[in-house]
Amino acid sequence: MAWLRFETPFGPMALAGEAALTRLWLPGTLPDRGGRGEETPLLRAAREELQEYFSGARRAFDLPLDPAGTDFQRSVWAALRAIPYGETRTYGEIAAAVGGPKAVRAVGQANHVNPLPIFIPCHRVVGKNGALTGYAGGLDLKGALLALESGKECL
């Protein structure tokens, strides 16, 4: 599996994939692999799309994604991808969207194991009162991504 480590305004990140993206590591979650990895056409394009997103020039991603997960997790991730740029949904709203209005905790767990954060925008999911809750990259990064999407200063 090819992987590529790179710098972002939020810190180092890394991508993995072959024919499709399978993983994005956020700052603080990178594996200890040493080196920079391999710059394949897919990983180069993914890095460029992320940099465009971070600069405010991109609102949607065009690359093929292949996250490993259960059918339920994949249904949650599909619902996350349907959340428009700059908007948020609650865990309860996502649970209802995937046909399990009482599955709020399961939705939270699917968010927690999302292998492609940002591409699958779990940062757009908030608590029922709008509070920022859990994010693999930390609540500061989650808040910064939401601020970026709302047009507010984030860096």
Q: What is the pLDDT of residues 7-30, one digit of tens each?
A: 999 999 999 999 999 999 999 887
Residue 155: inside a domain, yes or no?
Answer: no
Exposed e or buried b per residue across 78-112, where buried means at least 16 C-beta atoms within 10 angstroms of its C-beta: ebbeebeeeebbbbbbbbbbbeeeebbebbbebbe
Residue 137: which CATH number?
A: 1.10.10.10
- Non-local CB neighbours of 63 within 8 Å, separated by 6+ positions: 20, 21, 42, 45, 46, 49, 119
Range of the domain at 45: 2-55
Residues 97, 34 share a domain: no
Q: Are residues 80 and 140 in the same domain?
A: yes
Tokens representing 141 are 């990064």
What pLDDT is stored for residue 155 in this prediction?
Answer: 45
Question: Is residue 145, in this structure, part of any structural domain at all?
Answer: yes
Regarding whether 83 and 141 lie in a shared domain, the answer is yes
14: exposed, middle or buried (C-beta count within 10 Å: 0-12, 13-18, 19+)?
buried
Place of tokens 């949607």: 60
Q: Are residues 76 and 48 in the same domain?
A: no
Residue 34 has pLDDT above 70, yes or no: no
Q: Are residues 79 and 146 in the same domain?
A: yes
| Contact (CB, 8 A) for 118 and 24 | yes
Please say whether the dihedral angle defined by the alpha carbons of residues 69, 72, 64 and 37, taken in this order, is positive or negative: negative
At 35 the pLDDT is 64
Please spell the DSSP secondary structure of 56-101, one letter per residue: TS-SS--S-B-----HHHHHHHHHHHTSPTT--EEHHHHHHHTT-T
Residue 151 pLDDT grade (very low, low, confident, very high; cuts 50, 70, 90): confident
Structural domains in the chain (count): 2
Asked if the structure places residue 65 within a domain, the reply is no
Of the listed 26, 80, 97, 122, which one is catalytic?
122
Q: Is there a catalytic annotation at residue 122?
A: yes
Q: 46 with 83, same domain?
A: no
- Considering only the C-alpha atoms of the chain, give the largest distance between any 2 of them, rounded to a whole number of Å: 44
Structure tokens at 64: 């093929």
When pLDDT is averaged across residues 50-55 and rounded to a whole number, the result is 96
